[in-house]
Structure 1
Amino acid sequence: MRIDMANERERVIEDGPGHVNDRGLPMPEADSIIDSIPAMVAFMTPSGELEQVNRQILDYIGIPLDELKNWQASDTLHPDDLPSVSAAWMHSVSTGTPYDIEHRIRRADGVYRWFHVRGLPVRNSEGTITRWCVLQVDIDERRRDKVLIAKALAEVSSSEERLRGIIDAVPGFVWSASPEGSVGFVNRRWCDYTGMSLEEACGDGWVASIHPDDAPGLGGYWQALLHSGNAGEYETRLKRFDGIYRWFLIRAVPQRDEAGRIVRWYGENTDIEDRKQAEAFLAKARSELTHLARVASLGAVTASIAHEVNQPLAGIITNASTCLRMLGADPPNVDGALETARRTIRDGNRAADVINRLRALFSKKSITIENVDLNDAAREVIAMLLGELQRNGVVLHPRFAEALPPVRGDRVQLQQVILNLIMNAVEAMSSITGRARELIVSTGQEQDRSVYLAVKDSGTGVDPQDMERIFNAFYTTKSSGMGVGLSISRSIIEHHDGQLRASAHDGPGATFAFSIPNADNREACDRVMENH
């Protein structure tokens, strides 16, 4: 089976300047998505030479691309880091293994900051590396915080006064609590940020700094940690002295004596507001790309859409002509005219239903979480594709389970996945001759009561070695297309707490199936999470 692939988190350029590929996303839209990522992204040639960077790198380093290409001979990297960076990079280039390292990069003002740099190879359908995508994330403040916190904790055994001075110098917010959870200390930076004094924060006074919507969840989680004695972390919003809330990651770790009893809890609050904003940007970019992929599939089903609309329109014309003829008879056949008028209205409603389904599937709108009947959702997609199936000589065998429980999700996104799986199956059978082109679309329940939908074809199948690679970034076995179908489909299903998987057959063809928790199980899990 020939499959489209992409990765919603790392968008790379497949075919060079100007386009993703011949029939893919226009380059201005791809550049806009890549430049909106709040991180530094570079693209390297298969031999390891710098090929292209995004706007964030140019703004940070402050030199043009032509000068950046000579990075190994310049001071862009810290001189102490350059040998190990070059060795690690050349090792990845020569072996094709992912590149992962931390090193310092010079800013435009000459200051070096620490970055976590990760490079992944982009391969074509033969497995050959066509370029490298390198992501560089600023971790300078995190490294400094870790060093200072480690130094502070190493001084615990020394004088309490000296420890307090060291902790107050830590850029993060540090606190401690009794084994029962009563806070006894917060450092100076916590007090400066919240505008509260140490006395006001002690006990459970610190709760006043937590966003009202987050306080119940955080309180329940804190009590669960105290009960279990395990370390943990929680994301919440913390109010600044001026009333502004920012997102923080709160970590808590127990200190135990030789007998294993908890004698103290230590914690640190890390500002993650910038990360949260970056995640929002990425989510928006992913949503934009998902919509573009959905609209791109419109062209593939144009013939089927025309067939679906033409049938009721032809009925309207025929019935209208019949109605006029009956009314023009002598005497007029009023009863017959009324019946043909009713049929005209029926066919008009059928045409309107087709248009409404298309508008729902291809319109750009926000996600709506609701109870979705997968049987009904699949039937609507199949109804839209009947003309396409007939044109390709595909014999459809729907096998929908009765009394199927609903799932919680976005109906349009789930229908996009079903549409993509069916269209992939049709294309996989397009070259088949000498045997029937059979397509089975089935639903049912797994042993864990999750609901599944499976699409089974009798096409060319999937090489077992490609079973996981088909879900990788920009991996495609098709001769055209930008390789986004299955990757976006997997992303959609995972955002519904489900799984999308592929399996090969002993005979011809392959099966692609996804499963999602049913609505009852999902709501029960949500209630459990709320209670904790």
Structure 2
Amino acid sequence: MAPLQTFTGVQAKWRRSSDQGLAEREPNGSRVEPAQSAAAPLGGTSSEDLLRYVLDCCPVPITLNRVDDGRILYESPATARLLGYKGPRAAQSVLDRWADPTDRQTYLHRLREARAVEALEVRFRKADGTVFPCAVSSRLLKFRSEEVIVSGLFDLTELRTAQAEVAQQRELLEQSARLSAMGELLAGISHELNNPLSVLVMQAAAMEESAADERSARRASRIARAADRCARIVKSFLAMARQEPAEMLPLDLNAVVEDALEVTAYSLRTSGIEVTARLAKNLPPVRGDADQLRQVLTNLLVNAHHALQGIDGPRRLTITSCCRKQDGKVIVKVKDNGPGVPAEIHSRIFEPLFTTKEVGVGTGMGLSLCHRIMEGHGGSIALGQGHDRGAVFVLKLPCAEIAPPPPARAAVWDCSAVCRILVVDDEQDLGLSLSETLEHDGHCVDYVTSASIALQKLKRHRYEVILSDIRMPGIDGPSFFRTLRNRYPDQLRGFAFITGDTLTPQLKDFIDSTERPCIDKPFTPRDVRQVVELILRSQSR
């Protein structure tokens, strides 16, 4: 106990020398180390001076205080620097340094039980009011019949920041892995689903074109619209699963809104949500990536759907679009009458990994991703102000500067301009539907179910257009293309791929490397005709 007895006798002297040590600075602002000061000799000193010197040099923040009132008996310069206290403030109580008084009660309870506390994580308050996390280690001692505490602090701010960054990176990796797994799953499902869906679309269009009477034409039209809606929904889901760079093209933002509503229509309708779309006519085009903007709008609609689940009474969702001519902005607002966003988190909703949803429901990535996409498009997303309860999200995009289009040329499918087409697809219903559409346009079509049969056909005939599926048993599409490149290079100018798998990176990279057109399933007769016309035009140059 001899060292502790020195604290009372030299307390005033100690504070004066400690304050002096805190005040000693180099001209550049750096502190003069005690070992360099005449006030801290290393040899030939009393035990009091030596103890003062050791504590003054210690990099660990050390405090000695009473238990009952928290009055500080000694505070090292390192503690004063950490907490931002200077001069006479070092003699105050520690009570106001605890950000949460209940933390101190827990701390004292453990200290009295075990006479020691090791690295207890608490929150302290600095002189300027800043609250920070720290770890406190303490010992409970008896000195002159009263209890005193000697404690050391460790600032956890940098550690917590590093842990948060690691957690964020881990979450991003997990999110990426989930998206990758979803992409692989959708790639397989889409191939199986897109084939029958393409048949439905093609047959519905054929029925509509060849209907014998008005009643049959109306029925075929309804089937065609439903099939086309299914096709657009599937394409929207596939587009959201793709991880591709933005393809900035002029587009109609109203059409993107309608696509997002198509994707979410069923869940909104079955949840009793009344959806109102007030989309301005003749909206100027914007320049952007339709898939990414669709992802933004879909995410906002899904968030609104989730928010509206927690209210009774009418559930309303309103989407509006307009053009603000004074600054050349196209604006879309998504508004619901749900509980709204609490004021205290307005500034945080676009932060990565921040979410108000329960664990397993929200990842905190949706709005931050929306924010990133909108910034990448030169636009913005913000939480707007509504006249009543609910949330309003406002999207702004600059109008695109579009050159005047060339004079429109009517699409004429001249049956006299016959060409020979080879269709290669192992799905017989799809291959026959595709052949029927092309034959209806006057082309001579050979349909085969495998690439090996197609190679036999190519020994006897030359084709202006070859439409080949990618995924086929035996010789697949890429292998078929490479064989043509070696044996019949003159046929490559008329080659185009058909695929329902645009998510597999290897296939996408291969298609891009060939620089050949690709028809994505599910496709419409118009899609096929456009590709055929593109090929024939390129051959006529």
Q: When the two structures are superposed, what TM-score results if normalisation uses the length of structure 2?
A: 0.38
For the pair shown, the structure with the greater C-alpha radius of gyration is: 2
Q: Which structure carries more relative contact order (alpha carbon 8 Å, separation 6+)?
A: 1
Q: When the two structures are superposed, what TM-score results if normalisation uses the length of structure 1?
A: 0.38
